[in-house]
Every structure is written in structure tokens, then in C-alpha cells.
Amino acid sequence: GENVEQHPSTLSVQEGDSAVIKCTYSDSASNYFPWYKQELGKGPQLIIDIRSNVGEKKDQRIAVTLNKTAKHFSLHITETQPEDSAVYFCAASMPSYDKVIFGPGTSLSVIP
């Protein structure tokens, strides 16, 4: 089955700096890669996603890149703000089954 790895497990950045979280997946058939943000005491919420026919996608301060050959995808947050502090999960899904497999998460702290 699909396996998703995520690094780093914790990340601290100064406010205004950029943050990068990297993920790898194991199954080359995966074609959909969402990113979820989880604030303390809440359920995860989708922030951006990318499909395998796209190499990069941006939404204001966040962007995701995908390298299908290497089976890598990354989340980039620019101009970080304290409200970006949360746990971020990458995930992967294959067209052959209706489920999403999550990475172990990255705890991001933005220091004012």
C-alpha cells in the first residue's frame, strides 16, 4: 500500500521567513496530493492540493511543488506569520481507491 514520509517533524522559523516541508510517497500510481493544516484542538483543514498533471500550484503565500519522477512533493510558506503556527500534514491518494494516506505531520512554530 501507499506510504507517505514527511520531514522535518518540527520546524521553527522567525516571523517573515520562509518555511519548507518535504514529503515523499511510495506508490507511483498516486495522483492527488493534498496538504492539511491542524490548529490546536481542532480537526485538520485543507489548505492546498495538487494533482499529478501539475508541477506547481500557488495560493497567496503558500505553494506546493510536485516531482513525480522522484516521488517528492513540498509545501512552501513565504512571509510566515504567527497564525501559520500549526501542524501540517501532507497526504497522497490513488485513483484506484477512495482513501487518503497521511504523512506523520510537521509541527511549525513561527516566532514573532
How many residues are listed for the chain in this entry? 112
Contact 106, 47 (CB under 8 A): no
Q: How far is the CB of 70 from another protein (least distance, A)?
A: 21
Binding flag, residue 34, another protein (CB under 8 A): yes
CB closer to another protein, 85 vs 88: 88
- Count of H-run helices and E-run strands, the chain: 0, 11
Binding flag, residue 51, another protein (CB under 8 A): yes
Say whether the peptide bond before residue 44 is cis (omega within 30 degrees of 0). no
Determine the size of the site formed for another protein (CB under 8 A). Answer: 29
Among 19, 66, 77, 94, binds another protein (CB under 8 A): 94
What is the distance between the terminal CA atoms of the chain, rounded to a whole angstrom? Answer: 41
Binding site for another protein (CB under 8 A): 1, 6, 9, 31-32, 34, 36, 41-46, 49, 51, 89, 93-105
